[in-house]
A and B are shown apart, each in its own frame.
Chain A
Amino acid sequence: MSNNGNGFEPRIVGFLCNWCTYAAADTAGVSRMKQAANVDIIRVMCSGRVDPTFILKAFVEGADGVIVSGCHPPGDCHYSTGNFKTFRRMPMVEALLEQYGIEKGRFHWGWISGAEAPMWAKLVNEFTEQVRGLGPLDWKRQLQSKEE
């Protein structure tokens, strides 16, 4: 990713389920929809596979924002109720991140089906701008805080 002069380019990790949002992202790419180049996509088989550890790890390793997206509930999940896991977990992850002082705007979770490629492109662009506005998170620096 290029750093255009002095501008900050956010690094965003997107955990997308294979059957819905990943398909949407693929279509968005193939259809050459205009989208920010800031999201590193990690394909998972189901949004229910996204262990909260993955999200924490993304932030610790340098992500400025994280997206988790899968198939619309109730009926779209390829594994029938994997997305139920997601909506039971993610509100708690949100609360946890907030307590850690990680701004709300750095974490997004939700649903985009394979047929909603424009929605994916819109999310990427809007979320990237939102995270850009929040500035770098740089969690590693938190861990190296100097003590005198």
Chain B
Amino acid sequence: MAENGKLKLGLYWAASCGGCEIAIVELREKILDLDAAADILFWPCAMDYKYKDVEAMPDGHIDVCLFNGAIRSSENEEMAHLLREKAKVLVAFGSCAHEGCIPGLGNMFDRQSIFNRVYLETPSTDNPDGIFPQTSYQMPEGEVHIPSFYNTVKTLAQVEDVDYFVPGCPPQAPQIWAVIEAILGGDLPPKGTVVGASPNKTVCDECKYDREEKRVAKFYRPHEIIPEDRCLFDQGIICAGPATRAGCGALCMEVDLPCRGCYGPAPNVVDQGAALLSAVASVVDADTEEEAARIVNEVVDPVGTFYRFGLPASMLHRRKLEEVE
């Protein structure tokens, strides 16, 4: 704590969409309470700070750092190490830092295939000389460096020691506030705990629908069907609710979209995708191998469906690289 008794807070974004920053703003008038209780020492998205300001801080100077975003580049990783040094408590904030999230789906590709797509193949790209980003370049004024782009997206915990995890894409405002209150009250659970979410429930437990585990003869993607007012899974829409930790208040089903799994694996689930795959397979309405194979093959993009938010944190982490350096 600072001499004024206020909490010293840092917020950082690595590879993320900015939604976690919006989630902080979503605290609305509570942001004033946050301001009253905490001094924000570092928040590049909202205020002008430089990395050198952080480097100049003594170690452990920041009480709590909420770190959102995955580790996609050397810059993300350097900042993870730096903020670990400077913060007493490092929190993986939001699905990207927690599990890799949507940027983590890049793990179905590698650096070169992503570069080819972005810098050569997209229809709007005009790059006749086939120039790719270089990590260093000689200018008349001297050599400049830019961060390198990784083959594999990593979670924060895969590169640094993390104290707490706040799930969600993005974390929901009431949950964020609960976490901040817990921090202010010094009422923190053991290191490594997932906070700002349920310790023991799945999204199904909070859902307005009751799942009856009906047998399913055909799976639909959300845009292919207008659902009835009952459990979406029972209607053949793959819903990650049974494999996902509760905490959001089962939001997506309020607008009749299935849960996509952003709050991460349900408590005691090792691999969210494998758990969801099992849940899907268990309702397949087939009594012969041929019939089962036919229904199951209708599931488009299994990795993207079962691991939409958690590929980097999953057991396999990524698609096989053609060549491992």
A interface vs B, CB < 8 Å? 51-53, 56-57, 59-60, 73-74, 84-85, 87-89, 91-93, 95-96, 99-102, 138-139, 141-148
CB-CB under 8 A from B302, the residues of chain A are 92, 95-96, 99
A147 lies within 8 A of B282 (CB): no
Minimum CB distance partner of A146 in chain B:
B325
B316 lies within 8 A of A60 (CB): yes
Task: Looking at the assembled complex, report how far the CB atom of B69 sits from the nearest CB atom of chain A, in whole angstroms.
Answer: 16
Pick the residue among B282, B293, B315 that contacts A57 (CB under 8 A).
Answer: B315
Top-5 shortest CB links A-B: A101-B320, A89-B281, A52-B274, A88-B284, A53-B274
Q: Give the CA-CA distance A145 to B108 in the complex, in Å.
A: 14
Q: Give the CA-CA distance A142 to B321 in the complex, in Å.
A: 7
Q: Give the CA-CA distance A101 to B282 in the complex, in Å.
A: 25
Pick the residue among A56, A74, A100 that contacts B271 (CB under 8 A).
Answer: A56
B303 lies within 8 A of A145 (CB): no
- In this complex, the interface size class of chain B, counting residues with CB under 8 Å from chain A, is 35 or more
Report whether over half of chain A's contact residues are helix, strand or loop; otherwise say mixed. Answer: helix
CB-CB under 8 A from A53, the residues of chain B are 270-271, 274-275, 315
Q: Give the CA-CA distance A101 to B281 in the complex, in Å.
A: 22
Known: A84-B292, A100-B316, A101-B319; 18 extra A-B contacts, CB below 8 A, are A56-B274, A56-B316, A73-B289, A84-B287, A91-B296, A92-B281, A95-B299, A95-B302, A96-B303, A141-B324, A142-B320, A143-B318, A145-B151, A145-B324, A145-B325, A147-B74, A147-B148, A147-B150
- What are the interface flags for B301-315 relative to A under an 8 Å C-beta threshold, 1 for contact and 0 otherwise? 111001000000001
CB-CB under 8 A from A147, the residues of chain B are 74, 148, 150-152
CB-CB under 8 A from B321, the residues of chain A are 142, 145
Q: Give the CA-CA distance A139 to B318 in the complex, in Å.
A: 10
B interface vs A, CB < 8 Å? 74, 108, 148, 150-152, 270-271, 273-275, 277-278, 280-282, 284, 286-289, 292-293, 296-297, 299, 301-303, 306, 315-321, 324-325
CB-CB under 8 A from A102, the residues of chain B are 320
B316 lies within 8 A of A139 (CB): yes
Q: Which of A51, A60, A88, A91 has the most CB of B within 10 A?
A: A88
CB-CB under 8 A from A142, the residues of chain B are 316-318, 320-321, 324
Pick the residue among B280, B289, B317 that contacts A87 (CB under 8 A).
Answer: B289
CB-CB under 8 A from B280, the residues of chain A are 92
B277 lies within 8 A of A85 (CB): no
Q: Give the CA-CA distance A85 to B284 in the complex, in Å.
A: 9
* CB within 8 Å for A100 and B319 given contacts A87-B289, A88-B286, A145-B325: yes
Q: Give the CA-CA distance A52 to B280 in the complex, in Å.
A: 12
Q: Give the CA-CA distance A52 to B302 in the complex, in Å.
A: 13
Pick the residue among B277, B315, B320 that contacts A89 (CB under 8 A).
Answer: B277
Q: Give the CA-CA distance A142 to B107 in the complex, in Å.
A: 11
Pick the residue among A88, A138, A141 that contacts B281 (CB under 8 A).
Answer: A88
A148 lies within 8 A of B277 (CB): no
